[in-house]
Structure formats: structure tokens, C-alpha cells
Amino acid sequence: MSRHFPALLFLIPLFAAISMPVVCLKHRGWSRPIALGALSAMVGVSILNLSNIIENGEIRYAFSGWASPIGIEWVADVLASLILVALSLLGLLALIFAGPTAPKDLGGRIVHFYTLILLLISSLTGIVFAGDLFNLFVFLEVAALASYALVGVSGGKALFAAFRYLILGTLGASLYLLGVSYFYAASGTLNMADIAERLPHLLTSKAVVGGLLFMFIGLGIKMALVPFHAWLPDAYSYAPESVSPILASLVTKVALLGWVRIIYWVIGAKVIMNEIPILLLVGVFGSLAAVIGAVLALTQTNLKRMFAYGGISHIGIILIGISQGNATGFVGGVFYLLNDAVMQAALFFLAGMAICHYGVRTVEDFGRVGRQAPWLTGSLVIISLGMIGLPPTGGFFGKWYIILGALEAKNYLAVGAILLSTLLTLAYFVKLFDRIFRDNSSSSDALNHEPPLQFKWCLGLTSAAIMLLGLFSDPIVSLLLTQALPPGL
């Protein structure tokens, strides 16, 4: 049974998504219990799957029994299973958060919303597990289609943002597919492990280097790396409040994980450090993203846009960690990816609560209600500690290992970029706190009723997770160091 957990993890949300429009045709109210049930089952199975894989080693799942180079293969190793636990937990929290907000945002489209969310989660599962380059492309596109529709589902301003997202996202997918066909032309196979085996004989081929570059640009658009990030702030800030937490915390990070798979598991650590200097390129783009994203965040006046740019700068920090070419930097990058997923979810829960419950959209207005909203301000303190990277939180340990890795690789420019981006992050949170604590206007009467229980739960749990990831950073990092490192690192 435990051998089939990876396929089960994909099939649970997929079946729930497919059956939802049929089952909920007459009973619209059933959509929420079905979605919550499916995601809770997924959380359970993903935890069982992780403990099974830590004990018994990775599972290579061959669909319909067709063995690997011919059939489609999924690789469930410690890295994928760990990310999947985070993915299903954050998906469940995002659904809980959507309870009070979704009816307000979406009205009659509530069934569409739950169907698309489940479809998005199942395709993200596919990206995390994919062991085949073309399979990765298909799941990237399914995830992207679900996100375009989710951004546009409430209509209004979001429609145009969704259209731009679609145009850029499709361009990225086409470039990725072009890269895949270069790889296929050079190696004659699409299975990641198979390409990795054949690649050492193909390094003189320009098709491999060209294909790798096209894949980088394509996935760079998907993960909103800095020169290609233009779609993200509009899409995330105009998206309905129930949608933006799950998009911000998961979609870009999972695309980044796909890129990590390609450079470390397909191309291989030895090749990228000695033959093809792709890590240098990734590191430079990462440093630029870390600094430019934070500068742009500092200039924003809209709350959601500020957080969206914060997410862009953190993608850069993760890439810096990945690109150091040593175990410390790699583990730091992956650990920071987990932290960033939690922090982005928390930030957009916070923004969603500010908009839905307090009717506040800008930094200016946020200061006005901040003092009268203890849940908002309390969780903002914890999240900002994590985003800046101060000791008791997971963000600190992620940055710490990334900086250690960069020092080990004697890459002082990357260290400088992280420190600069940390200072800028501090600056935009100080801007927020300044508004809250300097504002002396008397409380308005609209603030007296309590926020809904679901908001408190979501904010409380994500803030607790930011702290817990810091307190338990040692076991997680040592697990990653011993069991999740790519071969040859």
C-alpha cells in the first residue's frame, strides 16, 4: 500500500476536483466539505508518505507498470515528500481561510473556485514528483491554467491581470518545451535519470547548453525571476483574497523546485560545477532579484503589492542558496524555500484579513487599524521577524545556511546581496510599523467586532509554523543534509 502513496497523493485532489462540478450541481454547499475532506486526507497521506520514505528510501513509481525509460516515472524522494507535506498543509490552511472570504469574493462561482483550487493542488503534486521532463511540462501547464482561471475568477480588474499572466506564462511554457525538445534531440530520451546517464557523453553538444538556457528562461518566467516578474504583482494583488495566499505561497516555489530538479538531478552537480557554468548565471540573477525585488517592495503603497514584491525578492534569495554548488548552500536554499512558502501564505492571509475584515488596502490605512487589531499586529510582528530573518524564526536559519554556503564558495557578492536585501526588507517592515505606532487617531466604531475564527486560526497557525521551523531547524536541516542531497554534492 505504502508504495502507492505518491499516486494516491495526486489522485485524491484530482478525483475530488473532477467529481465536484457533478456532485455540487444541485447542492452548492457540498463543495466546501468535499474540498476540505480531500485536502485533510491528502495531509494525512503526505505525512505517512514522508515517514515511509525516510524509513525505506525513495520510491520510483512507474505508472501502469511500464518501467522507467519507456513509461512515465515519478520520483518520490525525501525532498519531494517534505515539500509535499508543506504543500498539502498550506493548501488546507488556504481552504480554511477561504471559508469566510470566498462567498464575499466569488458569489455564485464558489463551486468553480473549489474545483480549480483542487486541480491546482493536484497538478503541483505532479510537478513535485515528476521524473520526466515532458511530464513536468504538462503539469506546469495544468497548474498555470488553473492559476490563470483562479486569478480571473472574480472578474473586474483581475481579468486583465489574468490575461497578462496568461500571455507571459504561455511564452514561458513554450520556451521550456523548446528546451525539452533540444534535450530530446540531443539525448533521445525524456526520463530525467536516463538523460543524466547519457549526458556526460553529450557535453560537446550545443543543443544541451541551448536547451538548458531556454528551460531557465521558461521556468524563470514561471517563478517570477526579476527581469521576467512583471506578471506577478498585478496578478497577485488583483486576485481575490481567497486565492492569493495559495498562489503566492506555492506556485512560484514549485516552479523553482522544478528548476532545482533539472540542474541537480538531470544535468548533475559535477557538470554544472565544472563544464557548464549555469550556476554562475543562476547566482547573478538570484542576487539581482533579491535586491531589486526588495527595493520595489519598499516603494509600494498597496499592501498586497508590497508583499508580492517581497516574495519576488525571496525567490532571489532561494536561488542564491541553490547556486552555491555546495551542500550547505543547497540545504539552506531548500530550507528557505519551505520557510518562504509559509511566510508568503501568512503575509497574504494577513493582507486578506485586512481587506476583508477591516476594509484596508494601503499601507497608510493599515496604520489606522493596526493598533485596534491585536491579531493583525501580533502576527505581523512574527511574520516580519521571519521575513527579515531574526534568530528565533526559520527565516534566520535559512539565510544563515545560505550565507555559510556562499562564504564556503568564496562568493562575497552573493553575501552582500543577501545582507542588502535583508536591510531593505527591514526598511519596508519598519515603514509598516511606523504607520501603526505613530498613528494616534481614535478608534473607529467599525472595528469592534471580532474577526472570524478561521482568520485567527490561519494567522495563528502560520505564525506558529514560522517560529516552529526555527526551533526545529536542526532536525529538518540534518534530515535534508543526510537524505535529500542531490548525487555528487
Partner 1 sequence: MDDVLTAVLQRHNFLTFVIIFLWGFYIMLTRYNLVKKLVGMYLVQTSVIFFLVTISAKRGATAPILLSTTAPIDPSAYANPLPHVLTLTAIVVGVATLGVALALCSAIYQTYGSLDEEEILKKLE
Contact 310, 350 (CB under 8 A): no
As measured in angstroms, the least distance from the Cβ of 257 to partner 1 is: 20
DSSP reduced 3-state for 74 = strand
As measured in angstroms, the least distance from the Cβ of 202 to partner 1 is: 15
DSSP reduced 3-state for 302 = strand
Q: Rounded distance, CA 38 to CA 49, Å?
A: 16
Which CB atom, from 185 or from 381, has the smaller least distance to partner 1?
A: 185
Contact 298, 428 (CB under 8 A): yes
Q: Rounded distance, CA 331 to CA 33, Å?
A: 37
As measured in angstroms, the least distance from the Cβ of 148 to partner 1 is: 6
Closest by Cα among 98, 103, 159, 148 to 123: 148
Which CB atom, from 16 or from 177, has the smaller least distance to partner 1?
A: 177
As measured in angstroms, the least distance from the Cβ of 302 to partner 1 is: 14
Which CB atom, from 59 or from 177, has the smaller least distance to partner 1?
A: 177
As measured in angstroms, the least distance from the Cβ of 145 to partner 1 is: 6
Closest by Cα among 405, 266, 248 to 314: 248
Closest by Cα among 184, 259, 249, 247 to 221: 259
> Nearest 5 degrees, angle CA 170-CA 301-CA 419?
80
Which triple of cell numbers denotes residue 16? Answer: 475530488
Q: Which residues bind partner 1 (CB under 8 A)?
A: 134, 137-138, 141, 145, 148-149, 152, 155-157, 159-160, 162-163, 166-167, 170-171, 173-174, 177-178, 181, 184-185, 190
Q: Rounded distance, CA 473 to CA 483, Å?
A: 15
As measured in angstroms, the least distance from the Cβ of 402 to partner 1 is: 35
Which CB atom, from 18 or from 485, has the smaller least distance to partner 1?
A: 18
As measured in angstroms, the least distance from the Cβ of 177 to partner 1 is: 5
DSSP reduced 3-state for 335 = helix
Give the amino acid at 214: F
Which CB atom, from 155 or from 277, has the smaller least distance to partner 1?
A: 155
Which CB atom, from 141 or from 408, has the smaller least distance to partner 1?
A: 141
478 burial (CB, 10 Å; 0-12 / 13-18 / 19+) is exposed
Which CB atom, from 166 or from 404, has the smaller least distance to partner 1?
A: 166
